[in-house]
Structure formats: structure tokens, C-alpha cells
Chain A
Amino acid sequence: MEKLLLIALIGTGLCVMLRAIRPEYAFVSIVVTGVLLIGSVAAEATGLMDTLRKLGERFGVSEAFCAALLKMAAIAWLTSFGGNLCRDNGQSAAAGSVELGGRIALLGCAMPAVVTMLETGAAMLGGALS
């Protein structure tokens, strides 16, 4: 946790300093800061994700659904990271496109679950009607 704070503070300071000297390096330094931050969070989250997966297995949640859920979490994380980076550097249009792409990818991941749910509902209704 304190490592994150340290990286964020030093990265922000270097970015402010570099923006005064050469503005193009400020972008690189803020991207590197973001990558370092999110990388250390991801490294810490590995144990948590494994625990969640084991919990899902124990309570009989389908492996495919667990994998889809984790994939969606990863997509949401990455797209919010990329969108925020673009917005920080003044490119709101690129940020909007990245987030739209992320939403579409999330929808694509969720579709198999939606289809399964609809099929289950249809089977239940069919059983009740016949």
C-alpha cells in the first residue's frame, strides 16, 4: 500500500517537472506511473482471484462462468485505465472510444451467460406450460 503511495507521488512529481522541460516526456512518465501502479495492484490481487475461483468451485459455480467473470473484471480494469490515461492527456475522444470498445467487449463476454439464462427460463416456462 505504501509502495503505491510512493510510486504515485514520485510519478506525479516527475511528471510535473518534465512537463516544464519537455512536455512529451510527461506523457511517457505518467503512463509508466500508471503501469507500475496497476501492475503492483495486479500482482497483489493474484491471491484474491485464486481464492474467488476456489470459492466458486466449492459452491458449484460453473468454471466457464467464473472465467467469464474474471475476464470481464480484467477488461473493465484495463479499459478504465486506458480511458483515464487518454483523458488525463486531453484526448477525451480517444478515451470515449476506448471505453465504448470495453463496453462492447464486456457485452460479448456476458452474452453466453445471458443465452444460458434465457434458455433456462424458456425450459422452465415450457415445463410449466406442457
Chain B
Amino acid sequence: MGIEMLFKVAGIGILAAVVVQLLKQNGREEVATIAAIVGLLIATMLMVSMVSELLETIRSTFSLS
């Protein structure tokens, strides 16, 4: 866990933006919507796993059960 996670999220965001723009220009609106949702879902899953990792870290720092 480090600064590369931040770049990963930013990369997913930029990639999703590009893919959505391309799909919209090709006239595939619904595929573009699905692509946007999937990109956000991937980023959110990354975020949730990091938050759970943070909770584990804090649990061990404060030596809670």
C-alpha cells in the first residue's frame, strides 16, 4: 500500500473517461454508461479494500481485539 494506489485510481478514472468519450462518439450511449459504471465500481472496490486494510492497521496499532 503506497502512493501507487493513488495513481491506480487516477489511471482508472482517466481510462474510464477516455473509453466513455470514445463509446459516446461511436453512438453507443448505453455501452458508455455501463463502462462508466464498471469503472467506478472497480475504483470503489479498490477504495473499500483499502479502507478495510486501514481498519486492520488501526486495530493492530491500538491493539484492539
Contact = CB atoms under 8 A, between A and B. Distances in A.
B17 A21 contact: yes
B31 interface: no
Q: How large is the interface on A (under 10, 10 to 19, 20 to 34, 35 or more residues)?
A: 20 to 34
Contact of A11 (B6, B43, B53, B58): B6
Q: B interface, by DSSP: helix, strand, loop or mixed?
A: helix
Contacts, number: 97
A29 B10 contact: yes
Interface string A111-128: 000000000000000000
Interface of B: 1-3, 5-7, 9-10, 12-14, 16-17, 36, 40, 43-44, 46-47, 50-51, 53-55, 57-64
